[in-house]
Amino acid sequence: MTIRWPTLVLAAWVSSVGAALAAESGPVKIGVLTDMSSVYSDVSGRGSVEAARLAIEDAGEVLGQKVELVAADHQHKPEVGSTLARRWFDVDGVDMITDVPNSAVGFAVSGVAEQYKKPALLLGSLSTDLTGTRCSFYTAVWGIDTYSQAKVLGNALVQAGGDSWFFLGADYAFGRGLAHDAAKIVEAGGGKVLGSVFAPLGSADFSSFLLKAQQSGAKIIGFANAAADTTNALKQADEFGIREGGQKIATFVIFLQDVKGLGLKAAQGLLLATPYYWDLDEPSRAFAKRFAERMGRPPSWGQAGVYSAVAHYLKAVKVAGTKDGTQVMNKMRALPVNDFMTHEGRLRLDGRLEREMYLFEVKAPSQSKGEWDLYTLVKRVPGDQAFRPIAEGGCSLVAAPNASR
């Protein structure tokens, strides 16, 4: 049998149009790309999936259909993250990806989202380049970033007399970016940076790195890492007697679960910057109660942020009346973000969600009234003071806001 090329071309065109129409008319589908089995699984992982599920349940039907949810483990490998994102967008009909704890994976997913013109709402990707030189119209950074942590915590410590620093960071984009941003904040405040070292993600032994930090004589040793890396380094620092010797430790990214695991005796007095704490106010407590009914404990700020991102995305889809990524991103920027952890937040053109941040101090054991009663509020920091000014990031969208998409 002879098949003519025009027939094949027509068949392919009909197939592609049919797939596109099916994708647009099908249910909204959200993908949680997370860490299910490694250093960030305790503060993202299954808890992030459940947070997304709560937001979906609260939204009800969207565009006349129930919202669907999928999840996968990116294994901290950019190639795995990009492959999953491509398959989700191209084959499985996913309309938005969220969470993504790891900046290197975040960059990979952002690139795929840009190609498919689908939203990527990142919680655990903290590099400021995502809203700077590598920004994308379709990528939003919904949580903290290296600038906010450096600004809120670094400023507080420098103003309290911590004018000499040494950094111990994670050896990938997030850790190096955080150390860089914190160094700029310290120097702008009149402090000095005496050196820095970087350990591989998931290191078990920090002794050689801590020895260099201790020998530097710096008043503050800044930990530019997160999760298990932070807690392991802090435990080993205490074994070295670093804090007993008079040096202070700044944990730029530490989660509620980390503090609980360390115990208040070890963690008391640490300052931390965060956009959410379960016991801050009644709305925060109400969400934490719902989350704990499923997970057995309060959420991390990242898990709470997944709820916030999914809820705002679904609200924008409803208002826009479509799943089209460009229209939805425009609507997400137009609508204020209001939920239990965000009050009149705004999604900027560069993709940064600007919201209030909080500086907390970890309580002493004698101050705590319950298992998860861990923090005392020190101060609130307005979003326009906590996050990098939009003009300073180098995002191309800011220079050409009306570029066609």
Asked if the model's pLDDT at residue 19 lies above 50, the reply is no
Residue 18, exposed/middle/buried by CB under 10 A (0-12, 13-18, 19+)?
A: exposed
Asked if the model's pLDDT at residue 51 lies above 90, the reply is yes
Band of the pLDDT at 7, cuts 50, 70, 90? very low
* Contact assessment for residue 401 and residue 137, using Cβ atoms and an 8 Å cutoff: no
Query: What pLDDT does residue 5 have?
Result: 40
Residues linked to residue 166 through DSSP beta bridges, in sequence order:
195, 221
Band of the pLDDT at 404, cuts 50, 70, 90? low
Band of the pLDDT at 228, cuts 50, 70, 90? confident
Mean pLDDT of 255-282: 95
One-letter amino acid of 351: G
308 vs 226 pLDDT, higher one: 308
* Edge-to-edge strand list for the sheet holding 353-354: 337-339, 342-347, 353-354
Three-point CA angle 49, 52, 57, nearest 5°: 125
Band of the pLDDT at 400, cuts 50, 70, 90? confident
| pLDDT single digits (tens) 283-293 | 999 999 999 99
**What is the CB neighbour count within 10 angstroms for residue 338?**
14
| pLDDT single digits (tens) 301-336 | 999 999 999 999 999 999 999 999 999 999 999 999
Give the pTM: 0.90
Query: What pLDDT does residue 172 have?
Result: 86
Which CATH class name applies to 147-276+357-386?
A: alpha beta
Whether 147-276+357-386 and 28-144+281-355 are alike in CATH topology: the answer is yes
Q: State the alpha helices, DSSP H only, in 189-278.
A: 207-216, 227-239, 256-262, 264-267
Query: What pLDDT does residue 403 have?
Result: 65
| pLDDT single digits (tens) 347-366 | 999 999 999 999 999 999 99
- Name the helix (H) or strand (E) containing 315: helix 301-320
Query: What pLDDT does residue 14 have?
Result: 45
Residue 91, exposed/middle/buried by CB under 10 A (0-12, 13-18, 19+)?
A: exposed
Summary mean pLDDT of the chain = 93
Asked if the model's pLDDT at residue 18 lies above 70, the reply is no
- The whole-angstrom separation of Cα 80 and Cα 86 is 10
Query: What pLDDT does residue 25 have?
Result: 74
- The whole-angstrom separation of Cα 322 and Cα 328 is 7
* Contact assessment for residue 375 and residue 364, using Cβ atoms and an 8 Å cutoff: no
- The whole-angstrom separation of Cα 285 and Cα 193 is 39
- The whole-angstrom separation of Cα 353 and Cα 16 is 35
Query: What pLDDT does residue 17 have?
Result: 46
| pLDDT single digits (tens) 20-50 | 444 567 999 999 999 999 988 999 999 999 9
* DSSP label at residue 242: T
Query: What pLDDT does residue 10 have?
Result: 42
| pLDDT single digits (tens) 142-183 | 999 999 999 999 999 999 999 999 999 999 888 999 999 999
* Contact assessment for residue 141 and residue 109, using Cβ atoms and an 8 Å cutoff: no
User: Where along the chain do its domains lie?
Assistant: 28-144+281-355, 147-276+357-386
* Contact assessment for residue 31 and residue 88, using Cβ atoms and an 8 Å cutoff: yes
Query: What pLDDT does residue 24 have?
Result: 66
One-letter amino acid of 254: I
Q: Decide if domain 28-144+281-355 falls under CATH 3.40.50.2300.
A: yes
Q: What percent of the chain is predicted at pLDDT more than 70?
A: 93
Mean pLDDT of 211-232: 95
Asked if the model's pLDDT at residue 16 lies above 80, the reply is no
